[in-house]
């Protein structure tokens, strides 16, 4: 089977441009990229139908083996219809993005960023718990028998336990890793409490 080289080159160029465009952040360019990819694929399907010059339609004086394969054209028609629907939908989405945000760019996922920024210190899981958790506050003794009720976090006394593994000590202040920066443990604990910028109840009440 020989294939039209020009068609093949066009197909390659369409794929290259399409892939370049879908890597952009602008939605309109992404849409153009998707359209180019779909059309390049249509050319690919067309190429599987054999070389040009064969009879596309039935006529009495054509031998049975001399027809062009009709199936790829049927497949292309289906795929054109589908890509048409997807393009229309994408245009709708782009318009909606423009209406909502006056922006043609793909937005970041805020929850992703929030999870990445959340300190590894969690007030409920990782706060220092007195070794004695009895309801009778007779003595507040640490594991080593010292009084820990006024124990400063990060004074270097690791035996009191309870500190999670990510905590480190820098010049008298314990710090934890939050995202790619370090923050003092107390700030981290503060962030988990009401009023912190890390938890913003939205008007819809779903706490993003």
Comparing CB distances to other proteins, the nearer of 32 and 160 is 32
Binding of residue 131 to other proteins (CB under 8 A): no
Q: Tokens 């229309």 correspond to what residue?
A: 88
CB atoms within 10 A of CB 108: 8
Comparing CB distances to other proteins, the nearer of 47 and 183 is 47
DSSP secondary structure string for all residues of 124-162: HHHS---S---SS-S--B-TTS-B-TTPPTTSS-GGG--
The minimum distance between CB 139 and other proteins, in angstroms, equals: 26
What is the C-alpha to C-alpha distance for residues 44 and 127, in angstroms, rounded to an integer?
61
What is the C-alpha to C-alpha distance for residues 158 and 170, in angstroms, rounded to an integer?
14
Among 7, 10, 17, 34, indicate the residue that binds other proteins (CB under 8 A): 34
The minimum distance between CB 171 and other proteins, in angstroms, equals: 29
Among 9, 48, 51, 52, indicate the residue that binds other proteins (CB under 8 A): 48
What is the C-alpha to C-alpha distance for residues 109 and 112, in angstroms, rounded to an integer?
5
Comparing CB distances to other proteins, the nearer of 152 and 200 is 200
Q: Tokens 């993005």 correspond to what residue?
A: 97
Alpha-carbon Rg for the chain in angstroms? 32
Among 4, 97, 173, 190, indicate the residue that binds other proteins (CB under 8 A): 97
Binding site residues, other proteins, CB under 8 A: 22, 27, 30, 34, 37-38, 41, 44-45, 47-48, 69, 71-72, 75, 78-79, 82, 85-86, 89-90, 93, 96-97, 100-101, 106-107, 109, 111-112, 115, 118, 124, 192-194, 199, 201, 203-208
């Amino acid at each position: 089977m020989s294939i039209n080289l020009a068609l093949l080159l066009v197909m390659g160029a369409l794929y290259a441009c399409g892939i370049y465009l879908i890597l952009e952040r602008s939605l309109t360019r992404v849409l153009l990229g998707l359209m180019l990819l779909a059309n390049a694929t249509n050319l690919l399907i067309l190429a599987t139908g054999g070389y040009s010059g064969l009879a596309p339609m039935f006529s009495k004086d054509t031998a049975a083996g001399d027809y062009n394969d009709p199936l790829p054209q049927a497949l292309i028609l289906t795929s054109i219809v589908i890509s048409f629907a997807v393009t229309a939908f994408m245009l709708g989405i782009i318009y909606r993005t423009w209406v909502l945000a006056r922006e043609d760019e793909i937005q970041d996922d805020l929850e992703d960023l929030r999870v990445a920024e959340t300190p590894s210190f969690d007030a409920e899981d990782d706060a220092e718990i007195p070794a004695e958790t009895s309801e009778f506050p007779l003595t507040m003794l640490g594991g080593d028998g010292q009084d820990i009720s006024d124990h400063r976090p990060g004074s270097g006394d690791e035996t009191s336990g309870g500190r999670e593994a990510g905590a480190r000590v820098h010049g008298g202040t314990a710090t934890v890793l939050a995202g790619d920066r370090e923050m003092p443990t107390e700030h981290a604990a503060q962030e988990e409490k009401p009023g912190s910028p890390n938890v913003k109840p939205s008007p819809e009440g779903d706490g993003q």
